[in-house]
Structure 1
Amino acid sequence: MLAATAVSQSATDPLAGLVLGDVPPPERRPGWSTVRVVSSSLNMHDLWTLRGVGHPPERLPVVLGCDAAGYDEDGNEVLVHPVIADADAGMGDETLDPGRALLSEQHDGAFAELLSVPTRNLIPKPSWLSFDEAACLPVAWGTAYRMLFTQARITAGDRVLVQGVGGGVASAAIKLALAAGAVVYATSRSEEKRAEALAWGVRAAVPSGERLPERVDVVIETVGEATWSHSLKSLRPGGTVVIAGATSGTNPPADLGRIFYLQQRVLGSTGCTRSELVALLKLMDATGLRPVIDRTLPLTEIHQGFQLMLDGRLTGKLVIHPSGSQPSGAPR
């Protein structure tokens, strides 16, 4: 079967290690199910693997792709919860299992025609959600949901800053916070992306690093070094920064004096639980919320998709079709 596989890693030329070619189909194993993948989507995690960040080279080669929607062995439409873990080992939260693994870390991922995952990780795809939309949700939207509602516990009227409009998590966080009744601010270096955020309903979209009209209750941070100082300065006393990524670097100045003097809270967040992904679907059903899809590409053009991500030219998610054909599904 056709698959996109990471065979080597390079910090400066990550796409050199991405190979498109035939691989054996997954073997059947007890407690696992095979999914025929209709749609998948790109995530920064895929690029980190190719760069050698957080992924040891001895785990190569590995099929990339953390998100999937398709058909299970009985022909049911499903989406895949991407965290492979033992909820009991995480005290009821599989993201806290020390042995947890995101799809494509210890097991082959979703940039292939067939995917093998624990049966527990399959979630029925609602009929009102297309395959492309479903494939956008597990990593980016699940991460944003946990950041906002589990970690920050936002409520209607809260002021929320989302750093960096273009990324999948950031665009999801904006949409979800607005749906919850929050007042949302956003930042981006791109005037085009700031205009897009304004069209979604944010109160203001400012250039990265520019002062906000008011201090906020919550900052959603996935950029890291480049925006960290601005995040803390934008936060009210007693406010909360939730961080789930650091695309610009992981070693920002700590600014400990500001944090302790203003009693600011800094919370880490990783992925989402299966129950949080189900709760996200319920929220989307109730509000009519849908993911932002920048474009779709066949698996044969995945190098082009990665280059668009590297160049920062995406707003929302890029969907990959492993079969190369446009899937059927619920209308948008």
Structure 2
Amino acid sequence: MRAAFASTFDADNPLAALAVGDRPEPTHPDDDWVTVEVRASSLNRHDLWSLSGVGLAPEQLPMILGCDAVGVDPDGNDVVVYPVVVDPSDPRGLSILSERFPGTLAERVAVPRANLVPVPAGLPLTDAACLPTAWLTAYRMLTNRGRIDEGEAVLVQGAGGGVATAAVVLAVALGKRVYATSRDAAKRDRIAALGATALAPGARLPERVDVVIETVGAATFDHSMKSAKPGARIVVSGATAGHEPKVNLRRVFALQLEILGTSMGTPAELAELLALCVDKGVRPVVDSVYGFSQVSDAFARLHSGEVFGKVVLDHSR
């Protein structure tokens, strides 16, 4: 079957490590695994990290890339693939598709049957393919960890990236006042069009917020702390601009701030997210859609740093 995979590692130029070609058909580690015919998938930063050698060992190569997908299960149902798999060999007790088990950028992928979530009627497959990683992470950051129902105002740092842009759209759909930062003036215009108040990094907010969505790291963390009202939750799921920020502990205890880490979500939360998208008319922000035959171009687009939203692959093309 055709697939996109890491053939080697290249930290300086991850695109050079990308290969597209034939790979063996999926195998089933256990009886509860099934094969899904992939109809659409989307790219994540995780795929570039894999090509750079982060999270993979040389003996795991070649590794089919991809975490996100929708497809058809053996019973003919349209399903979203939840990408987290129980993995006793991993210190976390789990791994994401494309870390130990082959990923979704292929004609077919094998996953546990319990990882299949029905696609609700009315949600296009190319939209549903955007949700399992970045959008699910953003949803969990806002709801389970950020307890957004207890607050009215949200700050999203570094909007433009997959998780941050998803957090803007979801927070607006949930009826919150949303502030979002970006270094890029053009992206700030697009953020404003999504319903947020767009600001330059470090800008003073009109109010302190109840929840901060933090995916940037050291470059924005002090601003996140200063923008948080007493009792606020600062929810962290990434550190693209430094993982060792200086933290004013006096502010943490004096304002009783909560700094919470999170990653991904659960199958039940993915089902909740799908339902929310249908109920509220939410659609993922899609930067571009490529046919699977253009997968190299799709990776180049992701690597360019110019994306706003998700890069999607239509496997029928």
- Band the TM-score falls in, shorter-chain normalisation: over 0.9
Amino acid at match of 1:31: D
* Pairing partner for 2:240 from 244, 247, 252: 247
Q: How many residues align?
A: 315
Give the CA deviation at 1:9. 2.1
**Which residue of 2 is the match for residue 303 of structure 1?**
296
Structure 1: how far apart are the matches of 2:24 and 2:214?
39
Q: Structure 2 matches for 1:146-295, cutoff 5 A?
A: 146-155=140-149, 158-202=152-196, 204-295=197-288
Amino acid at match of 2:43: L
Q: Structure 2 matches for 1:29-68, cutoff 5 A?
A: 29-68=30-69
**Which residue of 2 is the match for residue 143 of structure 1?**
137
Amino acid at match of 1:130: P
Is the deviation greater in 244-253 or in 41-50?
Answer: 244-253
Asked if the contact 1:156–1:180 (Cα under 8 Å) also holds between the matched residues in 2, the reply is no
Instruction: Give deviations 1:123-157, integer Å, cap 9, x for gaps.
Output: 11112111101100111111111110000111275
* Pairing partner for 2:105 from 108, 111, 114: 111
Amino acid at match of 1:309: L
Secondary structure at the residue paired with 1:4?
strand
**Which residue of 2 is the match for residue 25 of structure 1?**
25
Q: Is 1:10 aligned to 2:10, yes or no?
A: yes
Give the CA deviation at 1:251. 2.2
Structure 2: how far apart are the matches of 1:104 and 1:248?
24
Secondary structure at the residue paired with 1:155?
helix
**What TM-score do the two structures reach when normalised by structure 2?**
0.94
Structure 1: how far apart are the matches of 2:253 and 2:296?
45
Structure 2: how far apart are the matches of 1:27 and 1:157?
46
Percent identity of paired positions between Structure 1 and Structure 2 = 50
Give the CA deviation at 1:27. 2.3
Secondary structure at the residue paired with 1:54?
coil
* Pairing partner for 1:317 from 288, 310, 313: 310
* Pairing partner for 2:93 from 76, 92, 99: 99
Amino acid at match of 2:22: D
Is the deviation greater in 50-59 or in 270-279?
Answer: 50-59
Q: Which 5+ residue runs of structure 1 have no aligned equivalent? A: 90-96, 326-332
Write out the 4+ residue segments of structure 1 that deviate beyond 6 Å after TM superposition.
Answer: none
Asked if the contact 2:160–2:191 (Cα under 8 Å) also holds between the matched residues in 1, the reply is no
Structure 2: how far apart are the matches of 1:293 and 1:156?
30
Amino acid at match of 1:53: V
Secondary structure at the residue paired with 2:283?
coil
Amino acid at match of 1:178: V
Q: Is 1:74 aligned to 2:75, yes or no?
A: yes
Asked if the contact 1:155–1:181 (Cα under 8 Å) also holds between the matched residues in 2, the reply is no
Give the CA deviation at 1:232. 1.3
Secondary structure at the residue paired with 1:68?
strand
Secondary structure at the residue paired with 2:26?
coil
Amino acid at match of 1:262: L
Instruction: Give deviations 1:285-305, integer Å, cap 9, x for gaps.
Output: 221111111110122322322
Give the CA deviation at 1:275. 0.6
Asked if the contact 2:36–2:110 (Cα under 8 Å) also holds between the matched residues in 1, the reply is yes
Instruction: Give deviations 1:27-50, integer Å, cap 9, x for gaps.
Output: 245111111111000111111222
Asked if the contact 1:157–1:181 (Cα under 8 Å) also holds between the matched residues in 2, the reply is no
Structure 2: how far apart are the matches of 1:263 and 1:14?
42
Is the deviation greater in 271-280 or in 219-228?
Answer: 219-228
**What TM-score do the two structures reach when normalised by structure 1?**
0.90
Structure 1 residues 67 and 239: CA distance shift in structure 2, 3 A: same
Amino acid at match of 1:126: P
Secondary structure at the residue paired with 1:112?
coil
Amino acid at match of 1:55: L
Asked if the contact 2:55–2:99 (Cα under 8 Å) also holds between the matched residues in 1, the reply is no
Asked if the contact 2:218–2:242 (Cα under 8 Å) also holds between the matched residues in 1, the reply is yes
Instruction: Give deviations 1:5-64, integer Å, cap 9, x for gaps.
Output: 112223221122111111111124511111111100011111122222333343332101
Amino acid at match of 1:187: T
Amino acid at match of 1:112: A
Structure 1: how far apart are the matches of 2:307 and 2:166?
13
